[in-house]
Chain A
């Protein structure tokens, strides 16, 4: 690169963002590895080695967070992929109401998560709630959506999908619209039907969209906190506690070292799952 352009593309331009990002994001991330090994009061710390981590793995109330985080991420992510794909196909088809439907599906993405959480926890009330009173009219006895430890996590996950599927749909619409018409014409000449169109053209060729949805939804699922906190606060018992809500609880309790250890664990958990996944998905993408 010539000297002139080094001067034009000066690193001074990077400076403001770099300072904010380094001080507020990189430094705390690096420091978390150190503070996770301490008993910490913000002003004072005691080095205690790996004790925070052993506490985390030994206590059932803490280690349940791994299982829940993983289940939550996998369930929300797969439903968003399937739902987004189907809605995307439907909303790029020949229907007159598609502008209206696209807007409606996307709308929940813009509403506050806390508001959504409060509204749905009220609708999921076991006896008075809208969902169960409606089911009762059809003679079905609805479960206690948020009070039953076996299904509470899934109930919250459903609301997450309700709120987030619009985003996945938009990504799929973009992906499907970018498929060249020639493919459909070729299929028509070969005499393929709607089913072939879906399986042999749309699914493989909207692969970049699928990858984007998987990565975004999976990371979002692993890190999710606010919806769970608004709906159940981790309860009943610890049935809906995820790593992010445990981090908050430990922080609230003043266990800063333990909370930070939770952060390091979440960091490692996300990295171990997401980096190989994105590498795998990207390799597949090149083959097309």
Chain B
């Protein structure tokens, strides 16, 4: 085979493999969400005899007194509040940790980076949240997401901050800027590329988070989108169509984000992930 033909063969094989491995599961989800309950339970790739997507979506939204809408509201609120707090708190902390150089800084870094490795202690966290009356509250769950995202965000912010010359700080000080004005009017805007990476990656992580809401946000009213999906697995044993309509609905936000920021996510990940 000639070189050109071989390259073509490789390309075609790769695209074919991507269809089998990645598109078929997605197609399966969409297809099942369009079927009636009996047809969905056959679990195959046959085209539905009648498309019932809209009916399934309506059914799954109505289920449990519009629980899914409440879940969407909770998940969105959780994501927005956590990201806002995370960006402000972590960029401020990273600024001091990167710039300051005294006896305490290596210790602070150690404690923060340890958070990337150590699994959170769950029941004691519930106990602490309970003591400060934030267990089963949105505020409590936001604090958990911020605390657990803090080490990763600091790592990204610090790496980027190292490239911002200190001369900028010095010039600002000469001009009579105080710490807060320097940070919020000069440094924070310069951090925008990392902030964008953090917003995109962390919002997907938090929106898709299952474990933390499961532990720290129990109760019928406190449901998030991932919990609805999990709860439905027991409710909808014979109604796979509704379960998959739910999967489809809760996949739309991350999917939209992905389509919108595709290039940026990949570029941001590559910039932040490896130092070499």
Chain A residues within CB distance 8 Å of chain B = 1, 4-14, 16-18, 20-21, 23-29, 31-32, 35, 40, 42, 90, 94-97, 100-108, 110-115, 118-120, 122-123, 125, 128-130, 133, 162, 167, 170-171, 173-175, 177-178, 207-209, 212, 219, 222-223, 225-226, 229-230, 244, 247-248, 251, 256, 259-260, 263-264, 266-267, 270-271, 274-275
| Residue of A29, A120, A266 touching B124 (CB-CB under 8 A) | A29
CB-nearest residue of chain A relative to B95? A13
* Complexed CA–CA distance, A207 and B179 (Å): 40
Contact between A115 and B247 (Cβ–Cβ < 8 Å)? yes
> Given the known A-B contacts A122-B43, A226-B211, are A23 and B251 also in contact in the complex, defined by CB atoms under 8 Å?
no
Bitwise, B239-276 to A at CB < 8 A (1) or not (0) is 01001100100110011011000100110011101111
> Given the known A-B contacts A8-B179, A119-B25, are A251 and B122 also in contact in the complex, defined by CB atoms under 8 Å?
yes
* Complexed CA–CA distance, A77 and B147 (Å): 26
B18 at the interface (CB under 8 A from A): yes
| Residue of B85, B122, B179 touching A13 (CB-CB under 8 A) | B179
Q: Cβ of B271: which chain A residues have Cβ within 8 Å of it? A: 174
B146 at the interface (CB under 8 A from A): yes
B28 at the interface (CB under 8 A from A): yes
Contact between A29 and B118 (Cβ–Cβ < 8 Å)? yes
Q: In the complex, what's the smallest C-beta–C-beta distance from B200 to chain A, in angstroms?
A: 9
Contact between A267 and B274 (Cβ–Cβ < 8 Å)? no
Chain B residues within CB distance 8 Å of chain A = 7, 10-11, 14-15, 18, 21-25, 28-29, 32, 42-45, 85, 88-90, 92-93, 95-97, 99-102, 108, 111-112, 115-130, 132, 143-144, 146-148, 150, 154, 169, 173, 178-179, 182-183, 204, 207-208, 210-211, 214-215, 225-226, 229-230, 233, 240, 243-244, 247, 250-251, 254-255, 257-258, 262, 265-266, 269-271, 273-276
Contact between A271 and B117 (Cβ–Cβ < 8 Å)? yes
| Interchain residue pairs A-B with the least CB separation, the first 7 | A174-B270, A32-B121, A28-B124, A24-B147, A208-B276, A17-B93, A17-B89
Q: Cβ of B270: which chain A residues have Cβ within 8 Å of it? A: 170-171, 173-174, 177
CB-nearest residue of chain B relative to A122? B43
Contact between A130 and B43 (Cβ–Cβ < 8 Å)? yes
> Given the known A-B contacts A7-B179, A112-B250, are A25 and B147 also in contact in the complex, defined by CB atoms under 8 Å?
yes
| Residue of A12, A107, A171, A230 touching B22 (CB-CB under 8 A) | A107
Q: In the complex, what's the smallest C-beta–C-beta distance from B37 to chain A, in angstroms?
A: 14
Contact between B123 and A219 (Cβ–Cβ < 8 Å)? no
Contact between B96 and A10 (Cβ–Cβ < 8 Å)? yes
Contact between B121 and A1 (Cβ–Cβ < 8 Å)? no
Contact between B89 and A16 (Cβ–Cβ < 8 Å)? yes
Contact between A112 and B124 (Cβ–Cβ < 8 Å)? no
Q: Cβ of A266: which chain B residues have Cβ within 8 Å of it? A: 119
| Residue of B10, B117, B182, B262 touching A8 (CB-CB under 8 A) | B182
* Complexed CA–CA distance, A184 and B85 (Å): 46
Q: In the complex, what's the smallest C-beta–C-beta distance from A280 to chain B, in angstroms?
A: 15
Q: Cβ of B251: which chain A residues have Cβ within 8 Å of it? A: 111-112, 115
Q: Cβ of B269: which chain A residues have Cβ within 8 Å of it? A: 167, 170-171, 174
Q: In the complex, what's the smallest C-beta–C-beta distance from A160 to chain B, in angstroms?
A: 14
CB-nearest residue of chain B relative to A24? B147
> Given the known A-B contacts A123-B28, A175-B274, are A260 and B124 also in contact in the complex, defined by CB atoms under 8 Å?
yes
Contact between B122 and A247 (Cβ–Cβ < 8 Å)? yes
Q: Cβ of A9: which chain B residues have Cβ within 8 Å of it? A: 95-96, 99-100, 179
CB-nearest residue of chain B relative to A258? B123
CB-nearest residue of chain A relative to B40? A122
Contact between A97 and B122 (Cβ–Cβ < 8 Å)? no
Contact between A13 and B28 (Cβ–Cβ < 8 Å)? no
Which of A5, A21, A104, A212 counts the most chain B CB atoms within 10 A?
A21
CB-nearest residue of chain B relative to A1? B101
Contact between A25 and B243 (Cβ–Cβ < 8 Å)? no
Contact between B250 and A115 (Cβ–Cβ < 8 Å)? yes
Q: In the complex, what's the smallest C-beta–C-beta distance from B103 to chain A, in angstroms?
A: 11
* Complexed CA–CA distance, A112 and B116 (Å): 21
CB-nearest residue of chain A relative to B227? A114
* Complexed CA–CA distance, A32 and B120 (Å): 10
| Residue of A13, A31, A94, A222 touching B96 (CB-CB under 8 A) | A13
Contact between A31 and B44 (Cβ–Cβ < 8 Å)? no
Q: Cβ of A106: which chain B residues have Cβ within 8 Å of it? A: 265-266
> Given the known A-B contacts A20-B150, A24-B128, are A112 and B226 also in contact in the complex, defined by CB atoms under 8 Å?
yes
Q: Cβ of B21: which chain A residues have Cβ within 8 Å of it? A: 162
* Complexed CA–CA distance, A5 and B266 (Å): 36
| Residue of A20, A90, A174, A219 touching B274 (CB-CB under 8 A) | A174
Q: Cβ of A17: which chain B residues have Cβ within 8 Å of it? A: 89-90, 92-93, 146, 150, 154
Q: In the complex, what's the smallest C-beta–C-beta distance from A142 to chain B, in angstroms?
A: 14
Which of B10, B119, B271 counts the most chain A CB atoms within 10 A?
B119
| Residue of A6, A119, A128, A219 touching B247 (CB-CB under 8 A) | A119
Contact between B262 and A103 (Cβ–Cβ < 8 Å)? yes
Contact between A230 and B45 (Cβ–Cβ < 8 Å)? no
